[in-house]
Chains A and B, each alone.
Chain A
Amino acid sequence: MNNVIIIGSGPAGLTAAITCAQKGLEVSVIDEYMKPGGRLLGQLYEQPDGSWWNGINESKKLFQQAVNLGVQFYLETPVFNIEKKDSLWVVYTDKETFQTTNLLLATGAAEAPVPIPGWTLPGVMSIGAAQIMTNVHRVKPGNRGLIIGINVLSSAIAMELKLAGVDIACLALPKNNQITHESAHPKKVLDSLLHVAHMAPSTFVKLGSKLMKNNFMKELGVTFYPRNGVKMWDIPIQLKKAVIEIYGEQEVEGVTIASISSKGEVIEGSEENIAVDFVCIAGGLYPLAELAALTGCPFHYIEELGGYVPLHNEQMMTPVEGLFVAGNITGIEGAKVAAAQGKIAGLSIAKRSGKHQLDEDLKDAVQQGADTRKNAYIQFHPEVDSGRRRIQEEWEEYLVNNTVQFF
């Protein structure tokens, strides 16, 4: 019998586990992966102050701290169902069935697919898979690859692949269709990239981002975008080329790429083949909310947070008694924000478990979370703040017609 079970051992889950254990609670953490750390494991980048953020080291530190505090870990243990029986949560895994009074879902995010003709060939993988292969397992996904989808995540991982000595032919857009939609539209993509331009070690991109604050300039920017792309870390970023097919007999042998107009339409006759032995698809992230959905927790679709998110308040409580959420399940943001949310959730759980004098701590933690968001180096959605406000408004509206059991 546990005071708290945490599903997910990423930055949110680990920080919550540490916080709960420091307050004297019995904590178990369950994760389907074989190593603790979640998406933190894949991260490797240089911070503005010149120091390197190494996700593997950060994961180890958090895991060790949790273990020292007596947190129990169950790795390689997928949870296939959760349900509430009387006032207890029952957590089903293929190894054991657990019971707990407080349940924290810190299940993170999943990658959205982008279908391209030929995407079922061996050698096509999600950008996250390429990151885990390279940084965690130290296996090259191939010798020369191409990345379909230009966004924050794919440009960061392209740089990591480059560091590992993997050649990247280019980053290009997917061909425009009913599914790829905005991710195939050069102006929309440019728009979202401007928010990460400060990361680019290219003067052209940095200067360009300052010039392109208004729509007219953006239109010009796309129109005059160089045919051969702009280089970031020596990798061409092709805003005006789209992949129309991935080809190969038994596995990936290459891609067919074509020039596109500033609206994303393919220019006939511009097709060319690029030989590669692997292809990464980067469709962006969405909150992985399947377990929360099983509990009957209300959901809201909020674009700025990456999709459907379970209803929750600033203290990371859901309207379902004893159910808490933290990290990317509440909206797509960076690891530091996820960790800050984990701390808030941990304090909320300690408070619900009868630990006293936590109100000040909780208030500080909420403030700290907001500050972390404001100072975040990487913003997955430029309007994430307004998304956070929306879910808080939805929560307040929910309280008008429903009773929620507070602590």
Chain B
Amino acid sequence: MRESEMIICRCEEVTYQELLDTAITYSCSARELKLRTRAGMGYCGGRTCRSIVDQVAKQVGSEQSKKNISLKYQAPIRPVNFVDLGGEGK
């Protein structure tokens, strides 16, 4: 397997090459890189690829802020059933 074909975001099947090309073409922040490629937007919530998306943006994209987390966290931060989330079930 070539490095370019290596999968970075497993949920959305985003490759290393796709991330690199996007970050270079648009000089992306981590957030923009995520939104353009969907890396980190799958059902796991980016629990594996988050730091890689960050790193690619830092190396070949745009300058990142040291004062704010580059990729926002949103609840639910762990998988949860709709029943438990909605409250009617219990």
Contact = CB atoms under 8 A, between A and B. Distances in A.
Interface of A: 32, 78-81, 83, 92, 94, 110, 112-113, 115-120, 175, 177-179, 181, 245, 247, 283, 286, 289-291, 293-294, 298-301, 307-308
A117 B2 contact: yes
Interface string B72-84: 1111111111001
B3 interface: yes
24 contacts: A32-B78, A79-B78, A80-B77, A80-B78, A81-B75, A92-B75, A94-B78, A94-B81, A113-B49, A115-B16, A117-B2, A117-B6, A118-B6, A119-B6, A175-B3, A177-B16, A178-B56, A178-B60, A181-B55, A293-B69, A293-B73, A294-B75, A300-B67, A301-B67
Contacts of A113: 48-49, 51-52
B68 interface: yes
Greatest chain B CB density within 10 A among A120, A181, A298 is at: A120
A179 B77 contact: no
Contact of A94 (B7, B60, B67, B80): B80
Contacts, number: 86
A115 B48 CA distance: 10
Contacts of A32: 78
A120 B75 contact: no
Contacts of B65: 301
B78 A286 contact: no
Contact of A120 (B10, B47, B67, B79): B10
Interface residues of B, number: 37
Contacts of A120: 7, 10
Interface of B: 1-3, 5-8, 10, 16, 20, 47-49, 51-52, 55-56, 59-60, 64-69, 72-81, 84-85
Nearest to B53: A179
Given A80-B80, A178-B59, A293-B73, A115 B1 contact: no
Nearest to A311: B67
B69 A118 contact: no
A225 B58 CA distance: 31
Contacts of A83: 75
The DSSP consensus for interface residues of chain B is loop
Contacts of B8: 115
Contact of A117 (B1, B52, B78, B81): B1
Nearest to B49: A113
A118 B3 CA distance: 9
B5 A301 contact: no
Contacts of B75: 80-81, 83, 92, 294
Instruction: In the A-B complex, list the 7 residue pairs whose CB atoms are closest, starting with the nearest.
Output: A81-B75, A80-B76, A293-B73, A301-B66, A78-B78, A117-B1, A80-B78
A175 B73 CA distance: 30
Contacts of B55: 178-179, 181
Nearest to B10: A120
A117 B3 contact: yes
Nearest to B55: A179
Contacts of B1: 117-118, 245, 247
Contacts of A299: 67-69
A290 B77 contact: yes
Contacts of B59: 178-179, 181
B35 to A, nearest CB: 18
Contacts of A80: 75-80, 85
A283 to B, nearest CB: 8
A290 B68 CA distance: 13
B51 A300 contact: no
Contacts of B51: 112-113, 283, 286, 307
Q: Which of B6, B7, B65 has the most CB of A within 10 A?
A: B6
Most A CB within 10 A of own CB, among B47, B60, B76: B76
Contacts of B52: 113, 115, 179
A245 B3 CA distance: 8
Given A80-B75, A80-B76, A120-B10, 5 more contacts: A94-B81, A175-B3, A181-B55, A245-B1, A301-B67
Contacts of B10: 120
A110 B48 CA distance: 10
A113 B49 CA distance: 7
B74 to A, nearest CB: 8
Nearest to B77: A290
